[in-house]
């Protein structure tokens, strides 16, 4: 069905959205729903291992939930998941399979692409990673001056940076003492030079993460890093201080990297889904190969769940359906991702790429223009920082912003250090839970007036304050509660979001696995670079031409 709006479930949901909007117009609908249905939380929450998923604070009635499940059947979520896992070429515009799920399947069974079992190659790379990581972490791997490596610098961008950087930060309590991992992605030289300022060439290893070994930003950083190293240790040091995550053996060898330090991955691994491949080498260096494989096992648990659980009990499917309900039927354009754990401070940026690069599309799988909204605007910050930044808008802004709150019951740092850090974690959890309740409940004019009276503020002063202190409530949230932030738990969480994004792409009839939207700017940048150096001239709009001229004038002044 090319037009997703023609389905019976979609049309029934459009009618239901009118009823829900009428409920919201009365004010404080979520309060009423919880009061009228004491079993709402018990009925709506789901579990996967020790992960609890609670969507009961979303603007979903039982009838809406029933119709969303019917929409999942109508749009074929389950068959789409099966097709992906089977290695079918579901990336239609590039004719590729999408099989990142194979990277985290350690069961020993076959996984095929085009009839060929890819698992022997996957296992071979994992074994190669294990050998390298073990040598590095034990000190057996030595630099050119026979000193052990103390700093690993990952040079990548997009999926070759965001995923590993997020996971490494999230799992810092698992790092090996004396070994640091850094990430450089921006072609702005300040990023690389700021990182190198605190490092010593003799004890630094660079990992160049580029499948084709042609990524402009990554190669610019890699050549500058090599110049820094060669300037201190000589050309012969490159082989002991560089590794590559790539499939371009000639380019890697020409750069000076020993091909024994080249780790392969495949064209059925999309960039933003590549954390689980050799792209995760920097993560494995930080936490060890055993912990890295536990990360893979957690993701595989979510893969099995997404494939096997019925829609009504399927966490990523329910996340996708509720997100579509908010986006397409309630007209809510954004999604805030709010992890209440500082270790997850890079998760919002990671999910921003995963979601917006996957589903920021307006072309259907058959090539037509979509006539319905697709991917939301994703943003976020860790709690409690966000509370002092943008939560004002979440509570009282004119736009309603659905939010995912991610809570962790036990502090990973307290566990790692064998003692709690004061009452910090309880205060953090209290804030997270309070925010979801506040967004649900709001505060009525009568409640505000009563509070002011209790505080001794009455008369005209109270009357003037009341409108400013009203909270309308009915701001939808989902809570995901983990027990501990372990490698397994992190893998499970990330994979759940991956499948949620994929399921939404199916609901919207778009291809979630290409990213043509990033190409045009790259093409134009290649042309503008020589113009900034005065080597060529181009045909541009008046604004771009004027800015190029102004940049040249200032750089030559």
pLDDT of residue 421: 74
The arithmetic mean of pLDDT across residues 122-130, rounded, is 98
The arithmetic mean of pLDDT across residues 310-328, rounded, is 98
Verify that 256 and 215 share a domain, yes or no.
yes
Query: Is residue 123 in some structural domain?
Result: yes
Query: Residue 416: pLDDT band by 50, 70, 90 thresholds?
Result: low
CB of 117 closer than 8 Å to CB of 309: no
CATH of the domain at 48: 3.40.50.10490
Number of domains in the chain: 3
Verify that 531 and 508 share a domain, yes or no.
no
Active site residues: 357, 388, 522
Verify that 329 and 313 share a domain, yes or no.
yes
Q: 287: which 2 tokens?
A: 């936490």
DSSP strand pairing (204-209 vs 242-245): parallel
pLDDT of residue 522: 87
Query: Is residue 301 in some structural domain?
Result: no
Verify that 271 and 393 share a domain, yes or no.
no
Verify that 537 and 415 share a domain, yes or no.
no
Residues 453, 449: Cα–Cα separation, whole Å: 6
DSSP strand pairing (334-340 vs 377-379): parallel
Verify that 258 and 178 share a domain, yes or no.
yes
Q: 477: which 2 tokens?
A: 């949230």
For residue 403, give the DSSP letter.
Answer: E
The CA-to-CA distance between both ends of the chain, in Å, stands at 60
Which residue range(s) make up the domain with 551?
Answer: 521-556
CB of 216 closer than 8 Å to CB of 524: no
Query: Is residue 486 in some structural domain?
Result: yes
Q: 537: which 2 tokens?
A: 């001239």
CATH of the domain at 529: 1.10.1390
pLDDT of residue 413: 75
Query: Is residue 448 in some structural domain?
Result: no
Does residue 550 surpass a pLDDT of 80? yes
pLDDT tens digits, 194-234: 999 999 999 999 999 999 999 999 999 999 999 999 999 99
Least confident of 86-95, 266-275, 326-335, 419-428: 419-428
Verify that 410 and 391 share a domain, yes or no.
yes
Of all helices (H) and strands (E), which one includes residue 404?
strand 403-408
Query: Taking all residues of the chain, what is their mean pLDDT, rounded to a whole number?
Result: 96
Q: 250: which 2 tokens?
A: 């000639």
Query: Is residue 95 in some structural domain?
Result: no
Residue-wise DSSP of 56-117: TTSS--HHHHHHHHHHHHHHTHHHHHHHHHTT---BTTTTB---HHHHT--S----EETTEE
pLDDT of residue 417: 61
Residues 225, 319: Cα–Cα separation, whole Å: 42
Angle at 181 between CA 179 and CA 187, to 5 degrees: 150
Query: Is residue 386 in some structural domain?
Result: yes
CB of 283 closer than 8 Å to CB of 134: no
The number of beta carbons lying within 10 Å of the beta carbon of residue 450 is 11
Verify that 334 and 435 share a domain, yes or no.
yes
Does residue 418 surpass a pLDDT of 80? no
CB of 465 closer than 8 Å to CB of 457: yes
Does residue 466 surpass a pLDDT of 70? yes
Verify that 162 and 50 share a domain, yes or no.
no
Verify that 116 and 248 share a domain, yes or no.
yes
DSSP strand pairing (151-155 vs 403-408): unpaired
Q: 474: which 2 tokens?
A: 């009915």
Residues 34, 347: Cα–Cα separation, whole Å: 31
pLDDT of residue 331: 98
Query: Is residue 176 in some structural domain?
Result: yes
Is there a cis peptide before residue 384, judged by omega within 30 degrees of 0? yes
422: left (phi over 0), alpha (psi -120 to 50) or beta: left
Measured CA distances, 345 to 156, 205, 316 (Å): 19, 25, 22
SS3 379: strand
CB of 237 closer than 8 Å to CB of 143: yes
The arithmetic mean of pLDDT across residues 318-327, rounded, is 98
Does residue 97 surpass a pLDDT of 80? yes
Of all helices (H) and strands (E), which one includes residue 413?
helix 412-417
Query: Is residue 451 in some structural domain?
Result: no
Model's pTM, two decimal places? 0.96
Q: 7: which 2 tokens?
A: 């389905």
Verify that 259 and 118 share a domain, yes or no.
yes
Verify that 122 and 230 share a domain, yes or no.
yes
């Amino acid at each position: 069905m090319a037009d997703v709006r023609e389905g019976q479930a979609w049309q029934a949901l459009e009618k239901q959205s009118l009823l829900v909007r009428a409920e919201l117009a009365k004010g404080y609908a979520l309060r009423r729903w919880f009061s009228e249905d004491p079993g709402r939380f018990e009925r709506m929450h789901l579990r996967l291992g020790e992960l609890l998923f609670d969507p009961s604070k979303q603007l979903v009635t039982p009838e809406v939930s029933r119709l969303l499940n019917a929409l999942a059947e109508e749009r074929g979520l389950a068959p789409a998941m099966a097709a992906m896992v089977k290695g079918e070429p579901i990336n239609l515009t590039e004719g590729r399979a999408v099989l990142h799920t194979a990277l985290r399947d350690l069961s020993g069974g076959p996984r095929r692409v085009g009839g060929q079992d890819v698992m022997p190659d996957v296992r071979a790379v994992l074994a190669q990673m294990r050998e390298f990581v073990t040598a590095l972490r034990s000190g057996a791997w030595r630099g050119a001056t026979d000193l052990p490596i103390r700093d690993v610098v990952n040079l990548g961008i997009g999926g070759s940076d965001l995923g590993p950087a997020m996971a490494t930060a999230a799992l810092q309590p698992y790092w090996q003492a004396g070994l640091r991992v850094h990430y450089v992605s921006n072609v702005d030289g300040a990023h690389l030079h700021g990182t190198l300022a605190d490092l010593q060439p003799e004890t630094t290893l660079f990992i160049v993460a580029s499948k084709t070994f042609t990524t402009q930003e990554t190669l610019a950083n890699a050549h500058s890093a090599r110049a820094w190293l060669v300037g201190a240790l000589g050309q012969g040091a490159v082989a002991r201080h560089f590794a590559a995550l790539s499939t371009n053996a000639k380019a890697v060898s020409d750069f000076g990297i020993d091909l024994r330090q080249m780790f392969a991955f495949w064209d059925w691994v999309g960039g933003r889904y590549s954390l689980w491949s050799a792209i995760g080498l920097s993560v494995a260096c930080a936490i060890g190969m055993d912990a890295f494989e536990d990360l893979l096992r957690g993701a595989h648990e979510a893969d099995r769940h997404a494939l096997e659980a019925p829609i009504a009990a399927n966490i990523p499917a329910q996340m996708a359906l509720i997100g579509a309900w908010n986006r397409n039927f309630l007209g809510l354009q954004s999604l805030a991702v709010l992890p209440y754990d500082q270790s997850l401070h890079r998760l919002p940026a990671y999910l921003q790429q995963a979601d917006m690069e996957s589903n920021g599309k307006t072309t259907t799988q058959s090539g037509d223009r979509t006539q319905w909204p697709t991917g939301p605007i994703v943003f976020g910050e860790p709690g409690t920082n966000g509370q002092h930044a943008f939560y004002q808008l979440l509570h009282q802004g004119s736009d309603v912003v659905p939010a995912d709150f991610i809570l962790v019951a036990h502090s990973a740092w307290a566990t790692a250090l064998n003692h709690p850090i004061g009452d910090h974690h309880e205060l953090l959890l209290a804030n997270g839970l309070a925010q979801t309740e506040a967004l649900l409940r709001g505060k009525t004019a009568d409640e505000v007036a009563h509070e002011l009276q209790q505080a001794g503020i009455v008369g005209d002063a109270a009357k003037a304050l009341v409108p400013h202190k009203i909270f309308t409530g009915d701001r939808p949230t989902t809570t995901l509660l983990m027990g501990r932030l372990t490698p397994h738990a992190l893998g499970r969480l990330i994979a759940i979001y991956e499948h949620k994004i994929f399921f939404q792409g199916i609901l919207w009839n778009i291809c979630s696995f290409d990213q043509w939207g990033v190409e045009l700017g790259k093409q134009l940048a290649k042309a503008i670079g020589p113009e900034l150096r005065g080597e060529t001239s181009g045909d541009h709009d008046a604004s771009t031409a004027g800015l190029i001229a102004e940049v040249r004038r200032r750089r030559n002044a």
